[in-house]
Amino acid sequence: MHFLYPAFLFALLFLAIPVLIHLFNFRKYQKVYFSNVQFLKEVQEQQSSRRNLKERLILAARMFALAFLVLAFTKPYIPGKNGENAGKQQSVSIFVDNSYSMQTLNSEGTLLDEAKRRAKEIASAYNINDSFQLLTQDFEGRHQRLLSRDEFNDAVDAVKISSQSRSLQQIVGRQQSLLDMHKEAMRSVYILSDFQKNMATLQPVKADTGMRISLVQLKANTLPNVAVDSVQLLNAVHRPGEGEKLVVRLHNYAGETAEKIPLKLMINGEQKALGSYTVKARSVQYDTLAFSGLSAGWQRALLTLQDNPVTFDNQFYFSFNVKQQMPVLLIDGGIVNPYLKAVFATDRFFAVHRVPDGNVDYSALNNYPIVILSDINAISTGLSQQLKAYVNKGGTLVVFPSTDADINNYRSLLQPMGAAYPEKLVTEAVKVSGINLQNPVFKSIFENFPQNPDLPVIQKYYQLSLSHSNRAGALMSLPGGKPFWEEFSSRKGNVYVSAVPLNEGFSNLPRHALFVPVMFRIALLSGHDQPLFYTIGKNETIEIPQVQTAEKQLLKLVKGTQSVIPDTKQEEGSTLLYVADQVHEPGIYDLKKQDSIADVIAFNDNRSESDLSYLTSAGLAKLIPQATAVLEGGKGSLKGAVTETNFGMQLWKLCIILALIFLALEILVIRYYKTDRQRVSQPV
């Protein structure tokens, strides 16, 4: 047995007080005169014996009561696992999981309510002079300090549900960063969570061996859940009134098939599509929603499914822009190409801007989803570098060599992008042998493809290089599989390279029936629009078309009464936004420059919280080898378990009970043990 405060043992010296009182009888006796003292001696002996026994019992009761009272103040205990640190200053970090999954219910209410209650129980197990840190999924700056017990309890009461979701390594690392500043105290870490599997890391959690880590797993009821993980529009460019197709990714996280889950699409407050889907257990399913009738401008879209009782992931936001016109940039050697001009003049949706290669505004390149080069003998180094940067950011470049092309110059342009380049001029007359119907360019051109199609005829052409890892697919090919019109991917963009210039002396491609629809499809598949949505909690950079601001002008993300000022960085042709952890609520935000809307951006919660499957105790022990205990909520108060772990078996309550028992015995002896009932027998 050990004592938490052994200095109080000196108080045992006070046990001498009742002994001294009983040794010296300070009562003054009153004289009583008797007329006959014949039997006085016998009466005195009998009464003195009973009185001495009573006084000894009272003395023993008082001494034991006082002794156990003193021992109670010393807080005796039988050492536990961490009993050697009892009595030392403690710094305790308690993590309360407040992610979306903590909204689920068990017999105690919501898991978050239980976690808050358990956190207070843990704090109450420590001494009043110990200090505490409260940490939540938000990783707020105000939680990076130590609190008193009362301040800690107030902070716990203020914890609310958060959209953030952290891994166990991030949580332990954050707790350690604060406790490392207080190494003079004993450091203890508690993590209260449901421990979803998404919190696990590939490697075991690394932590300082000087920290004691305890895990408290809160058990939730098993619930079914279906969520929309992501969406994608099939059309890269959106035209007013044109039909659209939205591919929706549905994920069933439960172990049972989800039957007929209703799904509704709202755009700008109007219902555009409705469906009902069945998703197999633990599987992903892709479905397509078709809609039309969109007007020009920003589209604020919301997908809603009805999936009770888990509702925090039943909504999915996204946004996109329907453009009144699509800008197209034509760059030539100084002479307008009549075929390209004629192609894009047939549809007013395309806003064509033509410039010679020496007058290109490099800063405006990113404003064009597609750039078409034609009839340029030699491309300048500056233009080559800018076109490479343009493609890397997601632009589409179409290259038609000139009739007198500088082959080495074109190689310098195309080879760094991973695209094919002209190697030599071939004067052999051939005919295009086939087209790749699997390429997205041709997917919606033909209703029925003829068996013997009329394909372009070639008089002469530039032989294109063959080996390229970035080859995305052939549009058209020559006999022997030689490339004629090829597509290549380069970073975020695409490059289309033709083996012939747009000149009838090389081929009949400019007048062929396929030329116009192929050019339209390439243009409509081009574009580097921003993503349809972003995920809260991911440190993503948002790239938008360049927005020029004055020195004192600020860009703001606005949703209702909420306003976020992101960090901005201007790059050539684009503006980068950094929101970090400033966005906390999902929804659609307007990016405002003063009173005008520069962009519309959608944010959704991290869908990792949707998977309501949890780590087992054995899994947690492997994941965090330093953990000294894996406790389960719902099994009585944690205060006793924490106290026993840190301080051993506490005996001070037993001491108080024994002290009260001996005080009660003293009272009983004084009241019911009588010494004046002794009878003296008299002779007849």
Domain CATH for 280: 2.60.40.10
Q: Return the CATH number at 115.
A: 3.40.50.410
Q: Is residue 29 part of a domain?
A: yes
Report whether pLDDT(388) > 50.
yes
| One-character DSSP codes across 246-305 | EEEEEEE-SSSPEEEEEEEEEETTEEEEEEEEEE-TTEEEEEEEEE--PPSEEEEEEEEE
Question: Do 251 and 169 sit in the same domain of this protein?
Answer: no
Lowest mean pLDDT among 249-258, 297-306, 670-679: 670-679
Share of the chain above pLDDT 70, in %: 90
Q: Is residue 677 part of a domain?
A: no
Lowest mean pLDDT among 35-49, 503-517, 581-595: 35-49
Q: Is residue 20 part of a domain?
A: yes
In terms of pLDDT, which residue wins out, 574 or 573? 574
Q: Is residue 683 part of a domain?
A: no
In terms of pLDDT, which residue wins out, 313 or 643? 313
Neighbours of 575 (CB within 10 A): 20
* pLDDT at position 86: 53
Question: Do 479 and 542 sit in the same domain of this protein?
Answer: no
In terms of pLDDT, which residue wins out, 645 or 39? 645
Report whether pLDDT(598) > 50.
yes
Average confidence (pLDDT) over 459-472? 84
In terms of pLDDT, which residue wins out, 246 or 71? 246
Average confidence (pLDDT) over 421-437? 93
- What's the Cα-to-Cα distance from 524 to each of 234, 322, 494, 520, rounded to whole Å? 11, 12, 13, 6
Q: Are strands 90-96 and 186-193 parallel, antiparallel or unpaired?
A: parallel
Report whether pLDDT(102) > 50.
yes
Question: Do 333 and 434 sit in the same domain of this protein?
Answer: yes
Question: Do 165 and 200 sit in the same domain of this protein?
Answer: yes
In terms of pLDDT, which residue wins out, 629 or 546? 546
Which of 525, 551, 572 corresponds to the end of one domain? Answer: 525
Question: Do 401 and 493 sit in the same domain of this protein?
Answer: yes
Q: Is the peptide bond before 309 cis (omega within 30 degrees of 0)?
A: yes
Report whether pLDDT(532) > 60.
yes
Question: Do 40 and 121 sit in the same domain of this protein?
Answer: no
Report whether pLDDT(268) > 90.
yes
Lowest mean pLDDT among 13-17, 114-118, 339-343, 523-527: 13-17
8 A C-beta contact, residue 169 and residue 205:
yes
pLDDT in tens, 224-262: 899 999 999 988 889 999 999 999 999 999 888 999 999
Q: Return the CATH number at 389.
A: 3.40.50.880
Which of 257, 288, 323 corresponds to the end of one domain? Answer: 323
Lowest mean pLDDT among 15-19, 192-196, 280-284, 298-302: 15-19
* pLDDT at position 451: 79
Contacts of 605 (CB under 8 A, 6+ apart): 100, 163, 312, 313, 535, 536, 537, 586
- Work out the angle between the directed axes of helices 652-672 and 40-74 (0-180°, nearest 10): 160
Lowest mean pLDDT among 104-118, 294-308, 349-363: 104-118
Q: Is residue 679 part of a domain?
A: no
Question: Do 131 and 66 sit in the same domain of this protein?
Answer: no
Structure confidence at residue 208 as a pLDDT band (50, 70, 90): confident
Average confidence (pLDDT) over 494-513? 95
What are the two backbone dihedrals, phi and then psi, of residue 555, each rounded to the nearest 5 degrees?
A: -90, 135
Lowest mean pLDDT among 40-54, 511-525, 526-540, 654-668: 40-54
Question: Do 305 and 173 sit in the same domain of this protein?
Answer: no
Question: Do 456 and 555 sit in the same domain of this protein?
Answer: no
Lowest mean pLDDT among 50-54, 123-127, 403-407, 666-670: 50-54
Lowest mean pLDDT among 38-47, 53-62, 297-306: 38-47
Question: Do 593 and 618 sit in the same domain of this protein?
Answer: no
Q: Which helix (H) or strand (E) holds 392?
A: helix 381-392
Question: Do 23 and 145 sit in the same domain of this protein?
Answer: no
Structure confidence at residue 676 as a pLDDT band (50, 70, 90): low
Which of 297, 323, 349 corresponds to the end of one domain? Answer: 323
Count how many domains the chain has.
5
Average confidence (pLDDT) over 67-73? 85
pLDDT in tens, 169-188: 999 999 999 888 887 778 88
Share of the chain above pLDDT 90, in %: 50
State the DSSP code for 28. P
Question: Do 501 and 544 sit in the same domain of this protein?
Answer: no
230 pairs with which residues across the strands?
249
Q: Is residue 656 part of a domain?
A: yes
227 pairs with which residues across the strands?
251
Average pLDDT, the chain: 86
Q: Is residue 269 part of a domain?
A: yes
Structure confidence at residue 680 as a pLDDT band (50, 70, 90): very low
- Structural domain boundaries enclosing 402: 326-525
* pLDDT at position 684: 44
* pLDDT at position 55: 79
Q: Is residue 643 part of a domain?
A: yes
